[in-house]
Amino acid sequence: MADRRSVLVTRPRADAERTAAGLSALGLDPIIAPMLEERFTGVALPDADGFAAIALTSANGVRALAAHPRGEAFSALRVYAVGEHTAAEARAAGFDHVSAAEGTLADLARTIIADRPSGKILYPAAHHQSGDLAGLMAEAGIDVDMRVLYEMHAATALPPGLAERLATGKIDGAVFYSRRTAEIFAGLVAARDYGELRTRLYCLCLSENVAQPLIESHFLRIGLADYPSHEAMMTLALAFARDQISP
C-alpha cells in the first residue's frame, strides 16, 4: 500500500480538527499547524432589543458570540451565515433561525440586502477582516452594528519539528482556507532556506484570493477549489489523494 500523502492544515485549531478528519477519511495524513489562534476581546454587546438579525462571516464569529456573557440574548434572532459550515456551527451553538449564503462575503451581502430585515443587524467581527460587510450594508441603507468580539493572533513560528519536515520534503501539501493564513505561512517559510519547498509543496486553496500570497511568494503548485466551500476543498483534496494531481 502506498504511503499516505501528508497535508498541512493551517486553519485555527477548532476548524482544523474538522478539516483534518475529512482529509483523513480521504486517505491523507493531516498535520495540524494553526497559523492563527482565536482570542475573545471581551468587547461589550448592546441590548438585543431593536436588532432583527445577526450576520456571521465565519465559525469564529459564532464561537465568539456564543461564548459572550450576553450572547444568549441574541439567540432568538434570524442568523445570516456566509456559508453552510458557518450555518451548521450556528445551529450547533443554539441559534434556530439560520440561513446560509453561497460562501462568499458578497453572497452574504446579497442575501441580506434581498431580505432587508426590519431592524439593525449585529455583526460579530474579527479585528482583521477580509472584506467590508458593514460598508456593503451601509451602501444598501441597512443599519449594521459591528462589534469586534475576537482577534486572530498570528503564529510567530512553525510548530517544533515541522520546519525540518518541510525542508526535507516530508510534507506533500497544505490546505489554506483564508488569505491571512496563507500570508502568515508564506512569511514564516521565508525566514529560512527550505530548499525546493516552493516548487514541491502542493497548496490547496479555497479561492484565488486565498492563493494570492502564495503566488506572490513564488509557490508554483497551486490548486483552487471550484467554489469557496469546505465541500469543494474536500473534492480538491480527494483529487490530490488519488494522484489525479501529481505531487
Kind and range of the H or E run holding 75 = none
Predicted model pTM: 0.83
The answer on 134 and 28 residing in a single domain is no
Q: Which of 25, 33, 24 is nearest to 201 (CA)?
A: 33
Environment class of 172 (CB within 10 Å of its CB; exposed 0-12, middle 13-18, buried 19+): buried
The answer on 191 and 99 residing in a single domain is no
Structure confidence by residue, pLDDT tens digits, 165-224: 999 999 999 999 999 999 999 999 998 878 899 999 999 999 999 999 999 999 999 999
- Per-residue b or e along 13-34, where b marks 16 or more CB atoms closer than 10 Å to that residue's CB: eebbebbbebbeebebebbebb
Q: In CATH, what number is assigned to the domain containing residue 161?
A: 3.40.50.10090
User: With contact defined as beta carbons under 8 Å apart, do 53 and 119 qualify?
Assistant: yes
Query: In angstroms, rounded to a whole number, what is the distance separating the alpha carbons of residues 85 and 81?
Result: 9
Domains held by the chain: number: 2
Structure confidence by residue, pLDDT tens digits, 107-143: 999 999 999 999 999 999 999 887 889 899 999 999 9
The answer on 46 and 144 residing in a single domain is yes
The answer on 23 and 46 residing in a single domain is no
Structure confidence by residue, pLDDT tens digits, 207-229: 999 999 999 999 999 999 998 88
Which residue, 153, 174, 204, sits at the end of a domain?
153
Strand partners, 153: 37
DSSP state of 119: S
As a whole number, mean pLDDT of residues 59-82 equals 96
Query: In angstroms, rounded to a whole number, what is the distance separating the alpha carbons of residues 36 and 174?
Result: 15
